[in-house]
Amino acid sequence: MFPMLKVVQYYTPQKVVFGVNAVDNIGQYIKEMGISGKAIIVTDPGVAQAGIAARVVQALKKDGFEAAVFDQGKPEPDNVVCDQAADFARKEAGSFVIGLGGGSAIDIAKVVAQLLVLPGKTEDYLVNTTFPKKGAPIIAVPTTSGTGTECTMYSVVTFAKDGIKGFFATPTILPDMALVDPTLTVSMPPKVTASTGADALSHAIETMMARQENPLTDAIALKAVEFIAEALPVAVYEGDNLEARVKMAYASMMAGMAFNDPGIVEGHALAHTLGSVYHVPHGVGCAVALPYAMEYNMGHCMEKLARIAVALGQNTAGMSVRQAAQVAVQAVKQLLEDVGLPTTWAPFGKKEDIPMLAKMMVESPWITAFYGWSKRPMTREAAVELLTRSYEGRLGDKLY
Ligand SMILES: [Fe+2]
């Protein structure tokens, strides 16, 4: 339905810098924002070993910035690693924080920027998903093309005590500046390129199915879908193809801008459920969820899925809207399989877990939060059906 009766609001970083080798002038861009003092760079061992952290330190020095590097970030970060990074930042008396890496490093950096000015530990705030005020300035520099976290007000942090994925959702952690330099993604291995690309695709498509979908975010999301369909297989199979990397970097950033306000829906609810239980990379969870989440939502957004089919490069001329929508679902599944991703969770999960997973999908507040963004209410029966179809790889049945 055209959202003429809704109030929508948009948040996006105050400044976005996008371009090849833009990272070499990061100091200049930060200065222009009136930010001064010592930088804390939050990154992970892989990015540090690849020399990317040193490249950023060098670029900062050129403009007179001092920097200290925390390089112990890790994938799917928990509150413990966030606290370690925050302790480092406090000891180093940082003034602002640069998240440099995949979504994980940037998500840690977002928390560190708050804990630089607030007392206590990550878990004190994670239980409420928010911080009481904005912390130190955040600069986000992604080295993968997937999460779009450089442009969002979310940070996904796992509770170390039980492995449950929690998250912060608050404008206080929206980066002040996103600096996206596609050259930083060129060394990403094919598997990471594929799974992070699936994450970006999920953000773009899921936000178009969300309750607060609107013309502005739809336009950005559709362009992201188009870029991903064109560029993801090339980026996976020919990693040093810079044009493909540029398109994927745009797609990831644009999908982040698109979903920041309408949010994401059942695909991520399912991905977070599977991620919390089986600890698969987030993008893999997205890949096994997305086609089924599209079908689950088809009843209320057939026309929109038909437009997604066109953005995916499908020829829908002469088709009914329903046929075109079904083509979109199949094309997404095909694209994910083309880049070597699983499109069922059978390879890493057990079918007998479905009742337990369905319970989690309708009872865990960390999962039900996603339905606040969706149009359809989730029921236990629907959760069982969604889990069953995504386990069996079954598409094309009647709507449920
Ligand atoms: Fe995601």
Query: How far is ligand 1, taken at its centre, from the CA of residue 38, in Å?
Result: 31
Query: How far is ligand 1, taken at its centre, from the CA of residue 288, in Å?
Result: 13
Query: How far is ligand 1, taken at its centre, from the CA of residue 282, in Å?
Result: 7
Give residue-wise pLDDT tens across range 3-53. 567 888 899 999 999 999 999 999 999 999 999 999 999 999 999 999 999
* pLDDT at site 295: 97
Does residue 210 lie in a domain region?
Answer: yes
Q: At 164, is the secondary structure helix, strand, or coil?
A: coil
Query: How far is ligand 1, taken at its centre, from the CA of residue 202, in Å?
Result: 7
Query: How far is ligand 1, taken at its centre, from the CA of residue 96, in Å?
Result: 25
Query: How far is ligand 1, taken at its centre, from the CA of residue 105, in Å?
Result: 14
Residues 309 and 216 in one domain: yes
Query: How far is ligand 1, taken at its centre, from the CA of residue 203, in Å?
Result: 6
For residue 353, the surrounding DSSP H or E stretch is: none
CA distance 400 to 393: 16
Residue 368 is part of a domain; what is its CATH number? 1.20.1090.10
Give residue-wise pLDDT tens across range 305-334. 999 999 999 999 999 999 999 999 999 999
Q: Which domain holds residue 135?
A: 3-185
> Given 162, 185, 208, which residue is the final one in a domain?
185
CA distance 129 to 104: 17
Pairing status of strand 177-180 against strand 138-142? parallel
Query: How far is ligand 1, taken at its centre, from the CA of residue 369, in Å?
Result: 14
Query: How far is ligand 1, taken at its centre, from the CA of residue 196, in Å?
Result: 8
Residues 179 and 267 in one domain: no
pTM recorded for the entire structure: 0.95
Residues 361 and 375 in one domain: yes
Give residue-wise pLDDT tens across range 147-185. 999 999 999 999 999 888 899 999 999 999 999 999 999
Query: How far is ligand 1, taken at its centre, from the CA of residue 268, in Å?
Result: 7
* pLDDT at site 1: 55
Query: How far is ligand 1, taken at its centre, from the CA of residue 209, in Å?
Result: 15
Does residue 399 lie in a domain region?
Answer: no
DSSP 83-151: HHHHHHHHHTT-SEEEEEESHHHHHHHHHHHHHTTS-S-HHHHHTTTS-SS--S-EEEEESSSS--GGG
Which residue is listed with tokens 């502005």? Answer: 216
Query: How far is ligand 1, taken at its centre, from the CA of residue 76, in Å?
Result: 11
Residues 112 and 255 in one domain: no
Does residue 400 lie in a domain region?
Answer: no
Residue 2: band (very low, low, confident or very high) from pLDDT cuts 50, 70, 90: low
* pLDDT at site 398: 84
Which residue is listed with tokens 């810098």? Answer: 17
Query: How far is ligand 1, taken at its centre, from the CA of residue 283, in Å?
Result: 7
> Given 157, 185, 213, which residue is the final one in a domain?
185
Q: At 239, is the secondary structure helix, strand, or coil?
A: coil
Q: At 54, is the secondary structure helix, strand, or coil?
A: helix
Which residue is listed with tokens 């993604």? Answer: 185
